[in-house]
Amino acid sequence: MVRLWIALGVAAVVFYFYSVADCALFDRSRVRGLPKPVWLLIIILFPVIGGILWFVIGRGRRRAEVNRRVSAPDDDPEFLGKLRLDHDQEERIRQLEKELAELDDNGPDNNDQTGRRDG
């Protein structure tokens, strides 16, 4: 029975130091619930229970990386959609420029009516 208590005591001490080190070195942006110094204080004042609370409540999980991989622009659907919109807009601009050029060329002001009268 004494060996069991010694083993539990050693396990509690190891867990205590691991909890303190984990909390101290953990990324501040992923800490949940309370600020990081408060979690350290809780772990130090209540060694086993504070450590358990830290791992259950305070330690945030790693966020799943959603589409974090680097890909070429031609593999990105959002980029390709933007190109398609840019192409459509450029095509409309070309069409408007063509219509304006036709209006300039075929307008009533271009047929020898420069404001002078010959004759």
pLDDT of residue 116: 53
d(C-alpha 80, C-alpha 119), whole Å? 63
Q: What is the pTM of this model?
A: 0.50
pLDDT of residue 1: 87
pLDDT of residue 119: 47
d(C-alpha 107, C-alpha 101), whole Å? 10
- Residues with Cβ within 8 Å of 54's Cβ and at least 6 positions away in sequence, in order, are 19, 22, 23, 39, 42, 43
- Enter the tokens of residue 86: 């840019």
- Residues with Cβ within 8 Å of 33's Cβ and at least 6 positions away in sequence, in order, are 39, 57, 58
- From first to last of the 119 residues of the chain, give the pLDDT tens digit: 889 999 999 999 999 999 999 999 988 888 888 888 999 999 999 989 999 999 998 887 766 555 556 667 667 777 777 777 777 888 889 999 999 888 888 866 655 555 555 54
pLDDT of residue 40: 92
